[in-house]
Each structure stands twice: as C-alpha cells, then as structure tokens.
Chains A and B, each alone.
Chain A
Amino acid sequence: MEILTLVKAGIKHRKGVFIGFAILTILIVVSSITMLGVSHNSNGAIKRAFETVDKGVMVVSYKYQAFTDELEKKLNDSELVDHIEVNDLIIGTNVACNEIENGNCFFLQKYYDKLPIYNEDQTAFVNYDEKNAKLVKKDLPEKYKLKKGEVYLPYGCKSNFKCKAGDKLTMDLLGKSLELTIKGFVQDPYMGASLIGIKTVFISDEEFEELYSLTTSNIKSEEDIWGAGDLVYIYPSDKADNSSDKFLRDLNLETKFNDMSFIAMTRDSAEHYTGIFVNIIMAVIVGFAILLTVIFLIVCGHNISTEMEIDYTNLGILKAEGFTNLSIRKVYLIEYLLTQLVGIIIGFAIAIPCEKWLSRLFFNISATLPLKQLPILDGCLITIALLLITGIYIYIFTSKIIKTSPVKAITGGKEDYYFSNRLNAPITKRGLGFSLGLRQITSAPKRYISIFIVSAVLVFMIISVELMSTYIESRNALTSMGMPFVDLEFSRKSDDVSWKVSDIEEMIKKHSDIEGRCYKTHQYISINGENIMCVIKAYPDELSSTYKGREVKYDNEVVITEQVANLLDIGIGDTVELGLRKKTEEFVVSGIFQTMNDTGKAISISNGGATRLRVDPTDKYTVDNNSMYGVVLSDATKSEEIAKEIRDKYGDSIEVTVSDFESVMDDLTDVFYLAANGSKLLIYILTFIFSLVTIMMVFSKTFIQERTDIGINRATGFSVGRIRRQFALRFMIIGLISAAFGVLLSRLYSGQMLESVFSMFGIPHMELEYTLMSFVRPVLLFALFYMIFGYLASRKVKKVSARELISE
C-alpha cells in the first residue's frame, strides 16, 4: 500500500514526464505494431492469392509457335515438373485508358473460374466467402459473368490508369484496334501488382476465341509473331527446389524452356515485386522503431538519474523511515512500467485503425486483398519485450539508490550531485540571455546528455534524408541510378516511320551539342539460366551507370548489377551464357552497374551484343514500341525550338516530348519517390514529435531543478518574457551542439545507411553530394525547432512568482 501511495504521488507530481513517456511508448508501439500488421496481412495476402488461383509457381509466356510440342514434351517429361497448363494468349500493345498510356504489352487471356473478382468497393471477393482468412469458393453470380466487349483488369491497373468499372480500355492487337469496357477488377497474383508493367487481362471465352483466330490469321511473317502466343503455368514436382527462382534455373538448364520464352514470372519474383513496397517501408519504419526504442531508453535512463538528483533528500528520508532499497526501486519500476503499459494499450488502440488504413493504402500497390488479422501474438511479444527491456534498464539505473545513505542524502548530498561539473562560460551584458543559457548548460552538462544524444541521432536522420533528397533529385544521381533524365525524348507515333535517329541527331546539333544519348530497349534474356531484364544500349558509354569495372565496350561484354552478381554468384571477369530463344552466346562480365529496372535485377549489353543474340531492336535506327530514345542537351533552353523543327519536318510520324527537369521532379509519383519522400516526411514528423516530447520532458525536469533560480531571477528584475527567451536560447544552443554531433555522425554513417536502404531499390552505390546546404539547412531548422519548443515549454515560468522564495 505504501508503495502504491508513493507511485500515485510520483505520477501525480511528475505527470508531464509520464505523459511524455506514454507518448514515446505510443509512437514505438504504433509504428511497430502497424508495420508488423501490415506486413503480416500483405504478405499473407500474397500467399493466399497464389493458393486461391492454384496456378503453379511459374507463368511463362511464349510468342506465337515458340512453345513447340518438343518443348512441351520436355517440360512434361522433366522430373522437376509435376504438370503444366497451356493457355492460348493474345498480346496487345499501346494500351491506354483515361488517356493514360502503358508502355508495356498486355496479355489477353480467358477468364478462369478460380480467379477472385473484387466487389464494387474492393473490400471482398464476390466469388469467395471469406472466413478465417481462408477462401471458400462460391458460384460466380450471373451479373459478374463476362460478356463480349467486357474485360476484367488486375487491381493494380486501377491505380496505374486511375480507372473504375465502366471506363474504356483500348489497345492494338495485330491488325485490329480493340476497345473494351472495364467490368471490374480481379486479383492476379502473378502480374497484378501496380509495380509490374506487363499485365494479364481477362475477357470472355467467346470473345477470346474470336480475337485469337483473327490475330493468328494476321500472323504472316516472323515480325508478326508478337501478336499471339501461349501462356504456360508450371507446377513443380516434389523434386523441384522450394525456391521458384531456383526451380526456374534448374528447369531451364535441363530444358532451355526459358531461353525460348518471351517473359517468365516466378512466384518468388511476383512475391518480391508485389511486396517490395510494403517490405521497404516496413524496413524503414521498423528501423526507426528500433531507433525510437533506443532513444526511449536513453531518455528513460537520464530521467531516472535526474529524478534521483531532485529527490535525493526525499530518498534519504524514505530510507530513514525504513523503506528498503528494493521497495524504493519498486516505486520507480511500477511508475515507469505502468506508464509504459498505458502507452502500449493506447498504442494498440491507435495501431488497429492505422494498420487498416495503411494496408488499404498498400493494397493499391500490391493489388492483393490484405488479410484482416490483428497481429496479436506479435503485439504481445513486442509488449513483453518492451516491458522487460525497460524493467531491466530501470532496475540497473536505480542501483544508485543502494549507495545513498539516509544521512548523506538528507544533509547536503544534493550539492555533490548538482553542478559537479562547473565550467565557466562567461556571462556578458551583450547577449545576456544567450550567455546565461550557455552557463546553465556548461555548469550542469549531465542534465542534457540524453537530449544531446537523442538530438544528435535525430539530426543524423534529418541530414541523411536531406542527402537522400538531394541525391534523388539531381540529374547526375538519376543517371547514376540508371534512369537518366533526358531533355528531349522521341517515339514512334505511327507505323510509317520516315525518320532515323541519325537524322534527328543532325537536326539537334544545329542548335545545341548533345551531352549524352539514352537509346535503349528492354528485353528479358536468360543469363546462366536465369531470366533477367536486359537493358540493350546503343551508346553504352554515354550516360552510364557503371560504377565498378568498366562499361560494355565490345560485343561480347555484359555488365550486371550487384543483385545479379549475388544471385548467380558471378563477378567481373567471369564468363556467362546469355540466351534468347534458341540462341545462346558466351559473354564476359566487364563491370557492375546499377539500375532501377526490375528493382535492380538486371543486366546490360550493347546493340552489338544483342545482335549476337539476334535481338535487333535498334540497328535500323528507328524507334520501336519497346525502345526509348532521348537526348541530354548542352543547352536545354533550346529544347522547344528543336522539338518544333523536328515536328514540322516529320509531322505525325514522330512524337517529341520536351521535359523540364524542375517540373518533372515536382510531378514524380514513381513508387521509388513515393517511398523516399514518404520516409523523409515520416522522419521529419517523428523528429518533430520526438524533439517536442524530449524537450518537454527535459524542460519539466529542468524546471523543477531551477524553480528557485527562476524565482530569484524574477525577484531581481527579469521579466517572464526574458526568462522564456533565455530558455529558448538555451534549447537553441542544445540544438546547435547536438546538430554538430549529428553532422559528424552523418559524415561518417549516412552514406552507409542510405546505401543499405537504397540497395533494396537496386541502388547499392550512391555518390552523395555533401553540400554546405545539406548540413546547414537541417541544422538551422533543428535549432529553430528547439528554440520554438523551448520557448513553448517554458510557459510554466509564468507560474513561478518571486513570492515563492520567501519563507513565512
């Protein structure tokens, strides 16, 4: 009972501190539980999506007649394969909806009855009963059955095209333009996610048969084989590797099925692309939650030390009254753990709607309906871990109590605790507030250790995101990320191509020098049996993103990303086998490059290298549907002038896009930028909250410690405003000193930290630009934050009157 009385009194007396602790706990619990929930439900949803459709572990597309009977037999005969399912396929290009074009081709397929169809508000499936996170199949109601002219799109298209049911989808088939009405959205686990460009869309059996026979009848030559093909689902046998990627490699080595394919997507890859956004955000937020926990513990330890300083006499009195060391420590333990428990309960309550909201947000990207399970077990584990860590930590920190004898504590031990470290920062009349603030810090630096550490970490985080922001928004960085920004981009507008790239370049050179050319096409090519996105470049040495070894120079050279190097266990100087359809050739790895294509899982060869594999997309110096041609000008102001001249000359056969770097950066909605800017925003918000809470907590302690000094100052003529300004300056100084440490930390570790995060996007190498502004801006911002927060926190000064000093 006596302990409870002390606990009650302690919490009541220091409620500001405990509210601060509860807020910190809430932040930790909300961020960790929310992200665990989102991750659990999103990743669970992807697994459930595969189980629902039951379409094996790999889908492989083949252009018309590329999937031969011989290949089919090989696959069926393989010990690794249980069985395969072969479906006819129609390929559409120039897909557009709501005036938004998709640069990738779309696969048209018959709707199959296991494919889940979303209801109108995309909260459930109309053809499944959802119970206990398991899907029980229902018969498809009549109104959901496809009619001629209607199409079901994977849900990822909804955000890509900003479309809804009833909108029109157009595309070009071989020899026919097609317009379809969107009937609704389905969950396609393989290619449904918005991050995957190629999509499979579903039409009625009747319409498919019609279109298929029309398209195949239009295939007259080798050039037309893209119009139709086969879609093969492969089911592994017990002998196949559990990893679908490994299964693909093993099977390809045996049958060369992938070398012959147009594109293959394994379950592993699909899960990777579908879940990448959630996983990256989760990594960032969980990392931050861990950081928050460390900060929480630092503040907690500091707080207990300071409290013991303030309560030193009281501790002695309690001991003199007969309280044991253990019972006093119990008081601290109960106070903090109780507060933490309250924070955990509130955190849970907030995390539930947050999890739902975030899952829904990520659903737009993953396109798989998230599960609706609460992470109870994970939550309980986090709770227990948090309470246990805090408990042990507090128990260790309160060990000082044992050393305190009642007499020592009651009689003047206080002075030994206060101002044990006296530094004489001078007091000056000019800048009196500043010099007094500095004196308060230098005379008792121990009081501010926790805020220094916490602030330095926060400044480190802010500078890191600033560096990241500067990096991703610079043209050089874009080039180094394999996605160079071009001032002018050219594409084919009609089949009648009356221009060549060389002609265009001649015209440009009349107005401006060309700084670099990006003329490339993408093609999936197998490398040592693994189907990988290959960037085929006409000018590999221009706008290069190769950072180790050297860029491709000869036709037999290939550059690979670090991801591919790790995946296939190859490096610079190794010989690899590249394959496309029936052709395979040996290449030598000449360097390591980086690209954001396929989140960094890519290789790159020259046009010459592609010719060896009989890929010939750019040798005619025309631009086809899959290729990109753009130039970086020395004088970008001439862009419009050049564009006009080219348009005038070539009319409808060319589309010229002029891009302004600044405006494009403002309009970027790419997932990578969303994630990067989202992380930046999150870190700024959390830093803001953390700074505020930490300052409030440190201030409330300082206020108790300096209450008498405040009273003295007021009695000797300092106005409330003046004292508050002094507090504001003191916290600004703390902000500046911490920022200096933060800058140092950032100089040492920002690069490493950012590279480890960015490697998830395929950017393992970053050349950060350490400009003065990238340090000065966050430092000033931070000092300003602290000054304002210090001023706000010091409003309590009003409550201290000089009268309090006078003993009756």
Chain B
Amino acid sequence: MKDVILKAKDVQKSFANNGEQLHVLTNVNMDIYAHDFTVIMGSSGSGKSTLLYALSGMDKASAGEVIYKKGNEEIDICKLKEKKMADIRAKDFGFVFQQMHLVSNLTLLENVTVTGYLNKNKSAQETRENANELLDRMGLENVKNNLPSRVSGGEQQRCAIARAVINSPNILFADEPTGALNRKNTTEVLDLLTELNEKGQSIVMVTHDIKAALRGNRLLYLEDGDIVGELELSKYGEKDKDGNPLQNSKAREAQVNAWLSSLDW
C-alpha cells in the first residue's frame, strides 16, 4: 500500500478568454504517491502543464482542493496565503522548468545555494557543502562557478534540478524538463531524475516525449482537462532477485505505446 502524498479533489481551472470562460481542467481527481515517478501525458492543449501548476501551487485552482500530506498534517495548498505557499515552495516542493530559468547573474553554484539559504534548518556552510556535492554529482564540478549563459542547456538543466532538490523536497515537479534539450542532454537529465527517484525522491513530471515517459512508474493520461487513463509500470531499471531487469526497455516501450494507442494518442 503506497502513501498518498498529494491529492487532487475536483480540481477545476478556468481562464477568461475574450469574455468567455475557457475550462482547462474540468474535474480532476487524482492521487500522487510517495516515492513514485509519476508522469502526466496528454496531447497539446490537454491542460497537463496547468494541472502541474495547480498541483505544485504555482497557480491556484479555480475550484476544488489540492491536499498536500506532510506527515500527519493535511494542507490544502489552494487556501494557503502567499507567504506560507512560498515557504512550501522553498522547502517541500522543487520545480524544474522546461526553459531552466536560472537567475542569469548568479553562477550555477550560487543559483543552487541561494535557494538552499531559504532553508533555515541548515547552516550556510552546510548549504554550500550540499550544493557543491550536488553539482559535483551532476557532473558540473568544472562549470559550477560559471554564469548560466556560459554553459550548455543540459548543464543548465542539471543545475536547475540541483536547485530544485537542494532543500530535499518531498515532491519534485518537472515540466517538460527535456523539452529544450538535445538527445545527449535529454538522456543525461532523465538519468539524473531516475537516479533521484531510485533514492526515494517523489517526482511528478509532465512530458509528451515517450522516451521520457518510460522513466516513470505511473503514467497518467490527461484529455480535455480530465484524467482519462492510468498505467502502472515497474520502476525503470528495477531488477529481480537475480539481478535481471524486471522489464527490458523494448517491452516497456511497447507497453506504453500500446497504452497510448488505446487512448488515441
């Protein structure tokens, strides 16, 4: 039995568009489980990014509840005041953007440490050590003192992931994290996310890239603002007792493709 860490109840999101209401999320009900790598897929305009903002508190839902379970506490993030929400973003949620969005006049290391400094439970020294360690682990040891404009897109995105996890968030949200990257960088970033998930990091990722989706162990399909399909997979690269992969990558890809085809993808 998996623990629910985030729960969406009747979540709706509408936008005013030239005097008309545009209903992007109609009535989403879903759970996000701890330690899962949840992937949200859907066609363009299906509302997957909007759902991610609503789940991560980047944007407030027009109606419904998004319950964040923190230990025994249940927090409806739709009702949080700005300061409390900022606190949750700083400590409990990490977010990775498609366009990286690093602060342009801070070095990679500073981009990570500044976010780390928001965590009052860690000393500045600890934060710096953590940031260095994270960046080294992500293969950025030689470029961590460079400004974002001086490194590649993949390096920027790895730094963005490091920034997102510096405060050991309970959930890491990623919005098309490989959307702006080439094949090599895409693989590097996905490997990194997989590695984090293997270590227990809960991840919610939006993507329309099947290769990226294969990394998840739970796939949700969104259509016209509602979840219409769900596929449970084993963990990517998970092995049996004998050390053999539970599922080879081709079989995994075929299973996902078949599922997507059934949803008219």
Chain A residues with Cβ under 8 A from B49's Cβ? 806, 808
Contact B89 A717 (CB under 8 A): yes
Chain B residues with Cβ under 8 A from A719's Cβ? 82-83, 86-87
> In the docked arrangement, what's the CA distance between A239 and B213, Å?
107
Q: Is B53 an interface residue (CB 8 A)?
A: yes
Chain A residues with Cβ under 8 A from B257's Cβ? none
Contact B115 A717 (CB under 8 A): yes
Chain B residues with Cβ under 8 A from A713's Cβ? 103
Chain A residues with Cβ under 8 A from B231's Cβ? none
Chain A residues with Cβ under 8 A from B107's Cβ? 424
Contact A805 B99 (CB under 8 A): yes
Specify which of B103, B105, B124, B164 is in contact with A444 (CB 8 Å cutoff).
B105
> In the docked arrangement, what's the CA distance between A429 and B90, Å?
14
Determine the residue in chain A with the shortest Cβ distance to B164: A716
Q: Is A436 an interface residue (CB 8 A)?
A: yes
Chain A residues with Cβ under 8 A from B91's Cβ? 717
Min CB–CB distance A679 → chain B (angstroms): 42
Contact A803 B104 (CB under 8 A): no
Determine the residue in chain A with the shortest Cβ distance to B123: A429
Q: Is B14 an interface residue (CB 8 A)?
A: no
> In the docked arrangement, what's the CA distance between A111 and B55, Å?
93
Size class of the B contact interface (CB-based, 8 Å): 35 or more
Q: Is A443 an interface residue (CB 8 A)?
A: yes
Q: Is A415 an interface residue (CB 8 A)?
A: yes
Contact A803 B105 (CB under 8 A): no
Contact A722 B86 (CB under 8 A): yes
> In the docked arrangement, what's the CA distance between A714 and B56, Å?
13
Q: Is B65 an interface residue (CB 8 A)?
A: no
Contact B147 A422 (CB under 8 A): yes
Q: Is A712 an interface residue (CB 8 A)?
A: yes
Chain A residues with Cβ under 8 A from B147's Cβ? 419, 422
Specify which of A429, A712, A714 is in contact with B102 (CB 8 Å cutoff).
A712
Contact A801 B58 (CB under 8 A): yes
Q: Is A709 an interface residue (CB 8 A)?
A: yes
Chain B window 28-46, contacts with chain A (Cβ cutoff 8 Å), 1 for yes, 0 for no: 0000000000000000010
Q: Is B157 an interface residue (CB 8 A)?
A: no
> In the docked arrangement, what's the CA distance between A716 and B59, Å?
14
Q: Is A554 an interface residue (CB 8 A)?
A: no
Taking CB atoms and an 8 Å cut-off, the chain B residues in 103-127 that contact chain A are 103-107, 110, 113-115, 117-118, 123-124, 127
Q: Is A651 an interface residue (CB 8 A)?
A: no
Chain B window 80-102, contacts with chain A (Cβ cutoff 8 Å), 1 for yes, 0 for no: 00110011111100010111011
Min CB–CB distance B220 → chain A (angstroms): 18
Contact A429 B101 (CB under 8 A): no
Q: Is B223 an interface residue (CB 8 A)?
A: no
Contact B58 A803 (CB under 8 A): yes
Q: Is A389 an interface residue (CB 8 A)?
A: no
Q: Is A671 an interface residue (CB 8 A)?
A: no
Specify which of B90, B98, B103, B127 is in contact with A717 (CB 8 Å cutoff).
B90
Contact A806 B117 (CB under 8 A): no
Chain A residues with Cβ under 8 A from B115's Cβ? 716-717
Contact B104 A418 (CB under 8 A): yes
> In the docked arrangement, what's the CA distance between A801 and B57, Å?
11
Chain A residues with Cβ under 8 A from B103's Cβ? 709, 712-713
Contact B83 A439 (CB under 8 A): no
Determine the residue in chain A with the shortest Cβ distance to B180: A807
Determine the residue in chain A with the shortest Cβ distance to B107: A424
Chain B window 194-214, contacts with chain A (Cβ cutoff 8 Å), 1 for yes, 0 for no: 000000000000000000000
Q: Is A383 an interface residue (CB 8 A)?
A: no
Q: Is A430 an interface residue (CB 8 A)?
A: yes
Determine the residue in chain A with the shortest Cβ distance to B53: A803
Taking CB atoms and an 8 Å cut-off, the chain A residues in 709-758 that contact chain B are 709, 711-722
Min CB–CB distance A440 → chain B (angstroms): 7
Q: Is B175 an interface residue (CB 8 A)?
A: yes
How many Cβ-Cβ contacts under 8 Å join chain A to chain B? 100
Q: Is B215 an interface residue (CB 8 A)?
A: no
Chain B residues with Cβ under 8 A from A424's Cβ? 107
Q: Is A702 an interface residue (CB 8 A)?
A: no
Q: Is B149 an interface residue (CB 8 A)?
A: yes
Contact A717 B86, CB 8 Å, known A430-B124, A805-B99: yes
> In the docked arrangement, what's the CA distance between A801 and B53, Å?
11
Determine the residue in chain B with the shortest Cβ distance to A416: B149
Contact B82 A807 (CB under 8 A): no
Chain B residues with Cβ under 8 A from A708's Cβ? 101, 104
Q: Is B163 an interface residue (CB 8 A)?
A: yes
> In the docked arrangement, what's the CA distance between A717 and B123, Å?
17
> In the docked arrangement, what's the CA distance between A644 and B110, Å?
76
Chain A residues with Cβ under 8 A from B117's Cβ? 427, 429, 432
Chain A residues with Cβ under 8 A from B106's Cβ? 427, 439
Q: Is A802 an interface residue (CB 8 A)?
A: yes
Taking CB atoms and an 8 Å cut-off, the chain A residues in 301-342 that contact chain B are none
Determine the residue in chain B with the shortest Cβ distance to A715: B95
> In the docked arrangement, what's the CA distance between A722 and B87, Å?
11
Contact B82 A716 (CB under 8 A): no
Q: Is A428 an interface residue (CB 8 A)?
A: yes
Contact A715 B58 (CB under 8 A): yes
Chain B residues with Cβ under 8 A from A419's Cβ? 104-105, 147, 149
> Most B CB atoms within 10 A — which of A422, A444, A711, A716?
A716
> In the docked arrangement, what's the CA distance between A711 and B59, Å?
12
Chain A residues with Cβ under 8 A from B90's Cβ? 716-718
> In the docked arrangement, what's the CA distance between A356 and B103, Å?
54
Min CB–CB distance B108 → chain A (angstroms): 13
Contact B58 A716 (CB under 8 A): no
Taking CB atoms and an 8 Å cut-off, the chain A residues in 763-808 that contact chain B are 801-803, 805-808
> In the docked arrangement, what's the CA distance between A711 and B115, Å?
13
Chain B residues with Cβ under 8 A from A711's Cβ? 101
> In the docked arrangement, what's the CA distance between A424 and B86, Å?
27
Contact A716 B149 (CB under 8 A): no
Min CB–CB distance B19 → chain A (angstroms): 21
Specify which of A436, A715, A721, A807 is in contact with B114 (CB 8 Å cutoff).
A436
Chain A window 574-616, contacts with chain B (Cβ cutoff 8 Å), 1 for yes, 0 for no: 0000000000000000000000000000000000000000000
Chain B residues with Cβ under 8 A from A720's Cβ? 82-83, 86
Contact A429 B82 (CB under 8 A): no
Determine the residue in chain A with the shortest Cβ distance to B83: A719
Min CB–CB distance B134 → chain A (angstroms): 14
Contact A805 B101 (CB under 8 A): yes
Contact B124 A428 (CB under 8 A): yes
Contact A432 B114 (CB under 8 A): yes
Contact B89 A715 (CB under 8 A): yes
> In the docked arrangement, what's the CA distance between A442 and B105, Å?
10
Contact B59 A803 (CB under 8 A): yes
Contact B114 A805 (CB under 8 A): no
> In the docked arrangement, what's the CA distance between A805 and B117, Å?
22
> In the docked arrangement, what's the CA distance between A774 and B164, Å?
49
Taking CB atoms and an 8 Å cut-off, the chain A residues in 459-512 that contact chain B are none
Taking CB atoms and an 8 Å cut-off, the chain A residues in 424-462 that contact chain B are 424, 427-430, 432, 436, 439-440, 443-444
Contact B102 A716 (CB under 8 A): no
Specify which of B87, B105, B175 is in contact with A806 (CB 8 Å cutoff).
B175
Chain A residues with Cβ under 8 A from B105's Cβ? 418-419, 422, 439-440, 443-444, 709
Min CB–CB distance B34 → chain A (angstroms): 21
Min CB–CB distance A326 → chain B (angstroms): 32
Chain B residues with Cβ under 8 A from A709's Cβ? 103-105
A-B contacts, 28 listed (Cβ < 8 Å): A415-B149, A424-B107, A429-B124, A432-B114, A440-B105, A444-B105, A711-B101, A712-B103, A714-B86, A715-B58, A715-B95, A716-B95, A716-B114, A716-B115, A716-B164, A717-B86, A717-B87, A717-B88, A717-B89, A717-B167, A720-B86, A722-B86, A801-B58, A803-B53, A805-B97, A806-B97, A807-B176, A808-B49
- Counting from the closest, the 10 A-B pairs by CB-CB distance are A717-B90, A429-B124, A719-B86, A443-B105, A717-B89, A429-B117, A802-B58, A716-B115, A803-B59, A712-B101
Given contacts A440-B105, A806-B98, 13 further A-B contacts (CB under 8 A): A427-B117, A429-B127, A430-B124, A432-B114, A443-B105, A709-B105, A712-B103, A715-B101, A717-B89, A718-B90, A719-B82, A807-B99, A807-B176
